[in-house]
Amino acid sequence: MSPTDSTRRSFLKSSAAGIAAGSLAVHAQKKAQAADSNSKIRIGFVGVGGRGFGAHVKSLSKIAKDGANIELVAVCDVYDANRNRAADYIEKENGGKVARYVDFREMYAKEDLDAVSIGTPDHWHAIQAIEAMKAGMNVYCEKPMVKQVEEAIELVKVWKDTGAVMQVGVQGTSLPVWDAAREKINEGLLGKVLMYQTEYFRNSDIGQWRYYGLSKDMSPKTIDWKRFLGVEEGLAEDQPFDRAVFAQWRRFWEFGSGMFTDLFVHRTTQMLKATGLRYPARVTGSGGLYLEYDGREVPDVATVVAEFDEGVQGLVLATMANSETPVKQMIRGHYGSIVFDDPRFDEFTFVPERPQVTHISPTELPFEPTVIKPEKRAPKDQTRAHFENWITAIEENKPESCFNPPDLGAAAIIVVNLGARSYREGKIYRFDADKMEVSEADGSWSKKWEKISKERGSAKHVPGWAAGDTGSTINDPDYMSLEGPWIDGKDPAS
């Protein structure tokens, strides 16, 4: 464990250990205010750079302009240009004076906020979200929810203790297709679920994340560099100012985890929502830097394999240097597969297995692919729909109604973070969902499944499964009655 990791974990432990009664009282008061139709939900922004401005500020500004019961009152950013651009935009589009801060804690203390929208680099997410919830605020946090497994565990505790409404910014979870797929899976359409596979393929002639431009205006005079690093909080080591590190931080492990947390977390979250799965039991990561030799640290080719106690394997694979031949995104079961082949994710295709396997008559289940459309149509603007869902959940005081709540966000980050750790450290990791602990894997995983087989056990199923043994057994040919060891020379068939 690096000194930075140790400091980070110590900070989180002291920061989130126990929730003061005063903090809970503040949160209850905020909720009562939010529920009052005569009071607007006061929202502040932490981190208003690329995504923080283009998605968070602009989306909420449009929603406010269209009459939502919200007020955008403050912005915080370590970079002068980002801070002023966002504040000026809100003032022009929505009117009123917008407060401007460099320190998010000062904004939290002074602005009497009901909610915050966090769009900072990954390494800051946990602290900013946890402190906001403890101070009585609701939270929208850009993906990934946090950077480390331990942070995810701590954040979920705080979320549950405070009752805050928190939305994690995987906007694709606002699509109805995932709920529709899960309903079909739970009804037994696929039979026993065996695996999911998903991908994220990109290509660029300049290298991933270097499309975030650098400018001469970026300097220690316009950027609070130590605050960006999080030196005092133990989030990163002190180091000389570097424009590329500031603007293209996803290329470096201290601040992000490349495709693992920027891209894999999108696909993983969606697959977990579609299957109902949550925490992995065993995770392996692999890959390497095979092309993009530009000073980056994160790989340009990577794969994560996640195994679940429900007897399901999850696969995410990608390269950042090839985009025209991605693998299909799908969920496989014994009776068939769901294929997400619509690029808009507005529908999916059910591809059945042959009747000789399923023993289902083609008149009952046609042996041909069938397109299934959710009853609800996909929103035209996923990001806006995601923010609107968050606002509605705040107004109704229903944390569980968020499309991507922290327990789902935690499950996704644990998959991708352990995949990144596995790649970097050359180890396979186990995760104990009961104890919420990480350990190194051993041979017990394979032995577990071999034991179930030897005992002629029953198939395990995804959460929500309601189809009994549908598609979850195999048949014994007559000749299998001849199976078995010959004890003392006696034929088991006799």
Whether residue 5 is predicted with pLDDT greater than 90 in this model: the reply is no
Rounded distance between C-alpha atoms, residue 74 and residue 310, angstroms: 45
What pLDDT is attached to residue 22? 46
Tell me the pLDDT tens digit for each residue of 62-82: 999 999 999 999 999 999 999
Report DSSP letters for 101-157, one per residue.
ES-HHHHHHHS--SEEEE-S-GGGHHHHHHHHHHTT-EEEEESSS-SSHHHHHHHHH
pLDDT over 90, % of the chain: 90
Render pLDDT for 425-450 as a digit per residue (tens, 0 to 9): 999 999 999 999 999 999 999 999 99
Mean pLDDT of 204-231: 97
* Residue 30 confidence (pLDDT): 55
Query: In the predicted model, is pLDDT for residue 242 greater than 80?
Result: yes
- Is there a contact between 46 and 72 (Cβ–Cβ < 8 Å)? no
Tell me the pLDDT of the chain averaged across its residues: 93
Measured CA to CA, the distance from residue 209 to residue 12 in angstroms comes to 29
Mean pLDDT of 275-284: 98
Amino acid at the residue 201:
F
Q: Is the dihedral of CA 177, 139, 316, 53 positive or negative?
A: positive
C-alpha dihedral over 441, 444, 449, 451, to 10 degrees?
A: 180
Predicted confidence (pLDDT) per residue in 163-195, tens digit: 999 999 999 999 999 999 999 999 999 999 999
pLDDT in tens, 106-146: 999 999 999 999 999 999 999 999 999 999 999 999 999 99
Residue 104 token pair? 């998010």
Give me the percent of the chain exceeding a pLDDT of 70: 92
pLDDT tier for residue 494 given thresholds of 50, 70 and 90? confident
Q: What is the pLDDT of residue 16?
A: 42
Q: Which fold has domain 3-171+382-401?
A: Rossmann fold (3.40.50)
Residue 293, classified by CB atoms within 10 Å of its CB into exposed (0-12), middle (13-18) or buried (19+), is exposed
Strand order through the sheet with 193-199: 370-372, 348-352, 336-339, 330-333, 193-199, 312-319, 301-308, 282-288, 429-432, 437-440
- What are the CA-CA distances from residue 337 to residues 180, 194, 279, 347, 352 (Å)? 14, 10, 22, 14, 6
Residue 3 banded pLDDT, cuts 50, 70, 90: very low
pLDDT of residue 363: 83
Is residue 106 within 8 A of residue 130, CB to CB? The reply is no
- Global confidence as pTM: 0.92
Tens-place pLDDT, residues 12-67: 545 544 444 444 445 555 554 554 556 899 999 999 999 999 999 999 999 999 99
Residue 10's pLDDT band (cuts 50, 70, 90): low
The answer to whether the beta carbons of residues 114 and 60 sit under 8 Å apart is no
